[in-house]
């Protein structure tokens, strides 16, 4: 393989140098775990990468599909200008409420709105609030293609559509997927394929954490 393997030490160096968590972000995962919320949030360097992408796109209006407990929400909202806005969609009432609380603790309640419900129903209702500069997709994998279709209607030209878990825990390329992993990996593979081949997008799977598929709308 070409390039430098990411060792534990190199990863630690990158996070310490570019993406240190503050006390609030450090506390959130354990608090969420105590409530029974799964520990499947993005990594600190993914949070910083989203901030960098927001900066590159001049993002003032951001859409997130899947809030979990607000970890990625807070990273992204911190990169918004004071008059910026982030709408995050969350199906699970406990996750939505926890995100609202965590966003308020971060002092970002004026910029973040949590919309509770099924993203497939909520996304079409956001047409009046478009255009968005960036959409970050990190919810039900079986629905990634639906979220992508909706995002293509809501994100402006020059904006970004980003999907988490594009590597599917390293399984995305496998032709001999174990039965129990198919529900996770196959929809991600289909999402990557559409991100790679849709003429409206210029995309790449970036191998950061569990992979982020980044597409520029053209
Ligand atoms: C898993 C990880 C994620 O980041 C996610 O969004 C959903 C599931 C997982 O590893 O199961
Ligand atoms: Mg994810």
What pLDDT score does 66 carry?
99
pLDDT confidence bin for 10, thresholds 50/70/90: very high
What pLDDT score does 197 carry?
98
Quote the tokens at residue 204. Answer: 């790449």
Pairing of strands 132-137, 112-116: unpaired
Ligand 1 near 165 CB (within 6 A): yes
Q: How many CB atoms lie within 10 A of CB 206?
A: 16
What pLDDT score does 185 carry?
98
What stretch of H or E contains 87? strand 85-90
What pLDDT score does 198 carry?
98
Fold for the domain defined by 8-217: Rossmann fold (3.40.50)
Ligand 1 near 72 CB (within 6 A): no
Quote the tokens at residue 122. Answer: 């909520």
Ligand 1 near 164 CB (within 6 A): yes
Classify 39 as helix, strand or coil: coil
What pLDDT score does 29 carry?
98
Domain locations along the chain? 8-217
pLDDT digits (tens, 9 = 90+) for 58-100: 999 999 999 999 999 999 999 999 999 999 999 999 999 999 9
Decide: 106 and 24 in contact? Cβ < 8 Å: yes
For ligand 1, atom 7: residue with the closest CA: 40
pLDDT digits (tens, 9 = 90+) for 147-169: 999 999 999 999 999 999 999 99
Handedness of CA 130, 133, 139, 144 (dihedral sign): positive
Distance 83 CA to ligand 1 centre (A): 31
pLDDT digits (tens, 9 = 90+) for 193-217: 999 999 999 999 999 999 999 999 9
What pLDDT score does 28 carry?
98
Ligand 1 near 143 CB (within 6 A): no
pLDDT greater than 90 at residue 1: no
């Amino acid at each position: 393989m070409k390039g430098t393997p990411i060792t534990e030490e190199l990863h630690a160096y990158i996070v310490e140098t570019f993406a240190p968590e503050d006390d609030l972000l450090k506390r959130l995962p354990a608090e969420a775990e105590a409530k029974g919320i799964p520990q499947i949030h993005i990594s600190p360097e993914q949070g910083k990468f989203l901030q960098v992408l927001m900066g590159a796109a001049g993002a003032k209006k951001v859409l997130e599909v899947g809030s979990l407990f607000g970890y990625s929400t807070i990273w992204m909202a911190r990169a918004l200008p004071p008059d910026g806005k982030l709408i995050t969609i969350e199906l699970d009432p406990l996750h939505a409420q926890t995100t609202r609380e965590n966003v308020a603790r971060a002092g970002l309640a004026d910029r973040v709105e949590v919309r509770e419900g099924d993203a497939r129903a909520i996304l079409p209702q956001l047409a009046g609030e478009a255009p968005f500069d960036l959409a970050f997709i990190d919810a039900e994998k079986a629905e990634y293609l639906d979220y992508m279709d909706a995002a293509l209607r809501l994100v402006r030209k020059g904006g970004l559509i980003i999907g988490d878990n594009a590597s599917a825990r390293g399984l995305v390329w496998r032709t001999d997927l174990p039965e129990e992993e198919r529900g996770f990996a196959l929809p991600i593979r289909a999402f990557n394929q559409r991100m790679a081949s849709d003429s409206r997008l210029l995309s790449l799977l970036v191998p950061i954490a569990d992979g982020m598929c980044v597409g520029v709308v053209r």
